[in-house]
Amino acid sequence: MELTFCQLKKDFERLADARQAAVLQRFFKTGKGQYGEGDIFLGLKVPVQRTLAKRYMDLPPADVVELLQSKIHEHRLTALLIWVLRYQKADEREQKAIYKLYLKHRNFINNWDLVDLSAPAIVGNWLLDNDRAILYKLANSKRLWNKRIAILATFEFIRHGQADDTFKIAEILLYDSHDLIHKAVGWMLREVGKRLGQATEQTFLDKHYRQMPRTMLRYAIERFSPALKRKYMAK
């Protein structure tokens, strides 16, 4: 039997957990003036949403877009997880369509987990073999989540042995004021060291560590020896 959008919404209602929702509201900073201001949670954990995404991955594209446009956080994340699953199984034509839909509707990708669980797999993967200029446009935008998409997309490049775009975008974001960008850049630099060798990461750090925000630097050097950490943190 073909599963429908209506059935998916009923599944969300059935699985909702008010106590967990309250925890998530605090964790994702949904209070006034915070980065997730006004976001609404049902209280579904990510593994539950992955199960729903797998079950409903054949929903019509218009239904997935409607789900992404929801005010409810878990609706948006499940829509993105459906796109990731569809993208992984798609031919080039459908992958391009999903990539374009992702960018077109990126204003609804508005929290760090939504970015982190989708940008590498869709934006990063598509741009492995395509023009990457869009990443620099996103990195230079004023919108927090565009900037996080830009740096997180490079995770896919790192997995394929490429660090140049990570370093270039990290330079653009070096003086960004937001803690979520500091953490994301530091994380990607750490992944460069983990996957491409510590010496590769240090080529960037040796040039920029004195100007890097402390949070960014701490994330970047997390896997270093205590002595090397002290060297970089000493400035």
Asked if 122 and 106 touch (Cβ cutoff 8 Å), the reply is: no
How many Å apart are CA 16 and CA 234, to the nearest integer?
48
State the pTM of this model.
0.95
The CATH number of whichever domain residue 28 belongs to comes to: 1.25.10.90
Number of H helices, E strands in the chain: 16, 0
Q: For residue range 51-86, what is the model confidence (pLDDT) as tens digits?
A: 999 999 999 999 999 999 999 999 999 999 999 999
Q: SS3 of 72, please?
A: strand
Q: What per-residue confidence (pLDDT) applies to 4?
A: 87
Q: What's the chain's average pLDDT?
A: 96
Q: Which amino acid is at 191?
A: E
Long-range residue pairs from 138-146, CB within 8 A, at least 24 positions apart, any chain: 139/169, 139/172, 139/173, 140/172, 144/35, 144/178, 144/180, 144/181, 145/106, 145/109, 145/110, 145/111, 145/114, 145/115, 146/106
Number of folded domains that form the chain: 2
The domain boundary residue, chosen from 109, 137, 165: 109
Are 212 and 169 found together in one domain?
yes
Q: What per-residue confidence (pLDDT) applies to 2?
A: 60
For residue 72, report the phi and psi dihedrals to the nearest 5 degrees: -90, 125
Q: For residue range 118-155, what is the model confidence (pLDDT) as tens digits?
A: 999 999 999 999 999 999 999 999 999 999 999 999 99
Q: What per-residue confidence (pLDDT) applies to 179?
A: 96
Asked if 153 and 183 touch (Cβ cutoff 8 Å), the reply is: no
Are 226 and 125 found together in one domain?
yes
How many Å apart are CA 172 and CA 181, to the nearest integer?
11
For residue 40, report the phi and psi dihedrals to the nearest 5 degrees: -115, 135
The domain boundary residue, chosen from 109, 133, 148: 109
Reply yes or no on whether the pLDDT at 3 is more than 90.
no
Q: For residue range 148-198, what is the model confidence (pLDDT) as tens digits?
A: 999 999 999 999 999 999 999 999 999 999 999 999 999 999 999 999 999
Are 85 and 125 found together in one domain?
no
Enter the tokens of residue 67.
């789900």
Are 94 and 188 found together in one domain?
no
Range of the domain at 88: 1-109
